[in-house]
């Protein structure tokens, strides 16, 4: 898998060598991969199973895990908005993210988590391409490789590196934009899922994450 990853990076260098953002992308990916490797003990199978134990387990209107499921409407609405604005590709990706996340949250498990992350790979690759002009196909293949690496080995480090690199690279080239800040805030609430559900009694940190991430998609 690492040989395939290196091959993809070489192909990206060959194709995008004139792109002024290429060197920054490779540097940021090196940083992200190093951080992911250092923190790999946090990405064990046990921790991934633990991640799937969300706070909001209410079944309302025959919808299981109600808050985490219904909050995915934000992604779908963002997708409809972008399609209306003639951004059909990104709009379709947003809707795909909403559908994938809904499927996962109806029955959270490591197996269904794959279908939650798959459309997000498309979203991350598209976003990097949108801001940098780097080859979309290579970015997408890199992201899919990282996801399949986790599927085959249960090692999440390559996927985490790809996702983290999106944040590091976009901050490097674009600074602290509103969508970027909202995405960071969404990750904070994701990490404090149970805390906010216990404090509010009706909305969990993960549901808030969906709403904030969806709003960020509206603003791209």
Q: Are residues 188 and 139 in the same domain?
A: no
23 in any annotated domain: no
Count the domains in the chain. Answer: 2
Q: Which of 171, 188, 203 is the last residue of a domain?
A: 171
Q: Do 117 and 163 sit in the same domain of this protein?
A: yes
Is residue 131 scored above 70 in pLDDT? yes
Burial (CB count <10 Å: 0-12, 13-18, 19+), residue 100? buried
Residue range 93-116: mean pLDDT, rounded: 96
* Domain-embedded: residue 213: yes
Q: What is the pLDDT of residues 55-83, one digit of tens each?
A: 999 999 999 999 999 999 999 999 999 99
Structural contact between residues 147 and 114, judged by C-beta atoms closer than 8 angstroms: yes
Per the domain annotation, does 94 fall within a domain?
yes
**Alpha-carbon distance 64 to 204, whole Å?**
14
Q: What is the pLDDT of residue 38?
A: 87
How high is the pLDDT of residue 130?
Answer: 94
Whole-angstrom distance, CA of residue 159 vs CA of residue 62: 33
Q: Which residue has the tokens 């919808």?
A: 63
Q: Which residue range(s) make up the domain with 74? A: 53-108+176-220
Say what the pLDDT of residue 54 is: 96
Task: Identify whether residues 93 and 181 lie together within a single domain.
Answer: yes
Per the CB < 8 A criterion, the answer to whether 99 and 80 are in contact is no
**Residue 136 predicted with pLDDT over 90:** yes
Same domain, yes or no, for 34 and 76? no
On whether both 114 and 167 belong to a single domain, the answer is yes
């Amino acid at each position: 898998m690492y040989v395939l990853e290196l091959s993809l990076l070489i192909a990206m260098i060959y194709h995008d060598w004139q792109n002024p953002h290429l060197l920054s992308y490779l540097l940021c990916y090196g940083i992200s991969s190093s951080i992911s490797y250092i923190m790999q003990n946090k990405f064990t199978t046990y921790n991934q199973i633990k991640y799937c134990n969300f706070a909001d387990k209410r079944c309302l209107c025959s919808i299981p895990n109600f808050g985490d499921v219904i909050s995915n409407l934000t992604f779908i609405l963002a997708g409809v908005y972008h399609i209306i604005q003639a951004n059909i590709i990104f709009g379709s990706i947003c809707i795909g993210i909403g559908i994938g996340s809904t499927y996962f949250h109806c029955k959270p498990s490591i197996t269904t988590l794959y279908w939650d992350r798959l459309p997000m790979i498309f979203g991350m690759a598209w976003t990097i391409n949108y801001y940098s002009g780097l080859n979309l196909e290579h970015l997408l293949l890199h992201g899919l490789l990282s996801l399949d690496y986790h599927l085959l080995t249960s090692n999440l480090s390559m996927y985490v590196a790809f996702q983290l690199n999106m944040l590091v690279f976009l901050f490097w080239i674009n600074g602290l934009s509103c969508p970027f800040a909202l995405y960071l805030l969404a990750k904070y609430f994701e990490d404090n899922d149970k805390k906010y559900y216990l404090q509010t009694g009706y909305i969990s940190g993960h549901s808030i994450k969906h709403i904030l991430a969806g709003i960020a998609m509206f603003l791209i």
